[in-house]
């Protein structure tokens, strides 16, 4: 039986503090299940321009706290926290505190980090991918131990937490999302995560056609197999999420062709690209149902600018 659809909103750049609160409340009122924020730090300038990444104006932890305070039922998510940007014990404390103040509404997303220019601009070591993934695995272990309660005795190459209890202890384990696009991270996600977030292979360290091209329909099917291999017998218990980065609700048939050219893809490739949803409300609903059948994707996150245009899709499909 197919897992029911649910939908999220991800926001980067509120116009004001009130706008941020209003976005979170609007997402809740429109039936989205999650309001999330990414984890990027640096502002406008040559360092950010070289990465092709948009500006994120707010820091993830306080932004999540404000969103939680402004709402009452929607999950508050991180999509995804970079484990390299925080001391692991402090990350566990902050996550548990967010869950505490949101009455158990935290959806904790983690990643190993990828935006090389941001690391360099902040003076954070951009270790080889294997080291960053080792660190991610150790942080996941620490978080699990912290959330389960009891005295911690966790040591590794990257994590040390010994001789104390982590507080507060969540009343239930917050659902863990792990995101990425490479074979190893998706294997880890299959083994460890409640939610696996499909993303581009961002090994280039910046946004560009190479990343978009790493997530075509054919390559996404391969990513699902990497998740399945990591998950083993628990694959059916995992929720598969994807960011619909290229969403346009339109009756203009030429939109696909115009956008495909931006990423060196054919219109046919872009039309079935799992991160793209382009067409009428009816056609997008049909695309989502086909992709759930094909890949198991039942959780879709839209950018905040698309929130109103996709509201009819959410109203039709959420929970079905």
Q: Helices (H) and strands (E) in the chain — how many of each?
A: 13, 13
3-state helix, strand, coil in the chain (%, to 5): 45, 20, 35
> Quick one: pLDDT at residue 130?
96
pLDDT at 136: 98
Rounded CA-CA distance 86/245 in Å is 27
DSSP 120: H
Confidence check: pLDDT of 203 > 80: no
Confidence of residue 225 (pLDDT cuts 50, 70, 90): very high
pLDDT at 194: 98
Tokens read off for 244: 């619909």
Query: For the ranges 205-214, 251-260, 262-271, which has the lowest average pLDDT?
Result: 205-214
The share of the chain scoring above pLDDT 90, in percent, equals 92
125, 126, 199, 289, 314 from 33: Cα distances, Å: 35, 34, 20, 18, 10
Given a cut of 90, whether residue 309 has pLDDT beyond it is: yes
Peptide bond into 80 cis (omega under 30): yes
pTM for this structure? Answer: 0.96
Structure confidence at residue 224 (pLDDT) = 97
Q: What pLDDT is stored for residue 276 in this prediction?
A: 96
What's the mean pLDDT when you consider all of the chain? 95
Mean pLDDT of 174-195: 96
All structural domains of the chain, each given as residue ranges with its CATH number in brackets, are 6-317 (3.20.20.30)
Q: Does residue 106 have a pLDDT over 90?
A: yes
**Average of per-residue pLDDT across 176-200:** 96
Query: Half-sphere exposure of residue 80, counting CA atoms within 13 Å on the CB side?
Result: 29
With cut-offs at 50, 70 and 90, classify the pLDDT of residue 134. very high
Return the percentage of the chain with pLDDT > 70, whole number.
100
Residue 214: pLDDT over 90: no
pLDDT tens profile 24-66: 999 999 999 999 999 999 999 999 999 999 999 999 999 999 9
């Amino acid at each position: 039986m197919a897992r029911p659809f649910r939908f999220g909103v991800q926001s980067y750049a509120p116009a004001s503090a009130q706008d941020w609160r209003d976005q979170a409340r609007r997402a809740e009122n429109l039936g989205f299940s999650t309001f999330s924020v990414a984890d990027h730090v640096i502002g406008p300038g040559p360092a950010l321009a070289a990465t092709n990444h948009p500006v994120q104006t707010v820091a993830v932890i306080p932004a999540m706290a404000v969103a939680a305070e402004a709402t009452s039922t929607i999950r508050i998510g991180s999509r995804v926290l970079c484990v390299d940007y925080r001391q692991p014990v402090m990350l566990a404390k902050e996550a548990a505190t967010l869950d505490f103040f949101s009455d158990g509404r935290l959806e904790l997303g983690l990643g190993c980090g990828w935006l090389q220019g941001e690391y360099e601009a902040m003076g954070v070591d951009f270790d080889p991918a294997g080291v960053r993934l080792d660190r991610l695995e150790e942080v996941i272990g620490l978080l699990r131990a912290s959330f389960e309660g009891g005295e911690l005795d966790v040591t590794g190459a990257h994590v040390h937490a010994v001789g104390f209890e982590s507080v507060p202890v969540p009343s239930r384990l917050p659902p863990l999302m792990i995101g990425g696009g490479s074979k190893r991270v998706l294997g880890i996600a299959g083994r460890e995560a409640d939610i696996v977030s499909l993303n581009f292979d961002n090994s280039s360290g910046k946004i560009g056609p190479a990343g978009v091209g790493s997530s075509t329909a054919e390559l996404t099917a391969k990513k699902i197999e990497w998740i399945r291999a990591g998950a083993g017998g628990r694959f059916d218990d995992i929720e598969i999420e994807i960011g619909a980065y290229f969403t346009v609700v339109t009756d203009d048939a030429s939109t696909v062709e115009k956008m495909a050219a931006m990423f060196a893809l054919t219109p046919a490739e872009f039309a079935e690209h799992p991160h793209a949803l382009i067409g009428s409300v009816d056609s997008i609903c049909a695309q989502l149902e086909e992709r759930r059948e094909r890949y198991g994707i039942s959780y879709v996150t839209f950018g905040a600018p698309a929130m109103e245009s996709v509201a009819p899709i959410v109203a039709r499909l959420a929970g079905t």
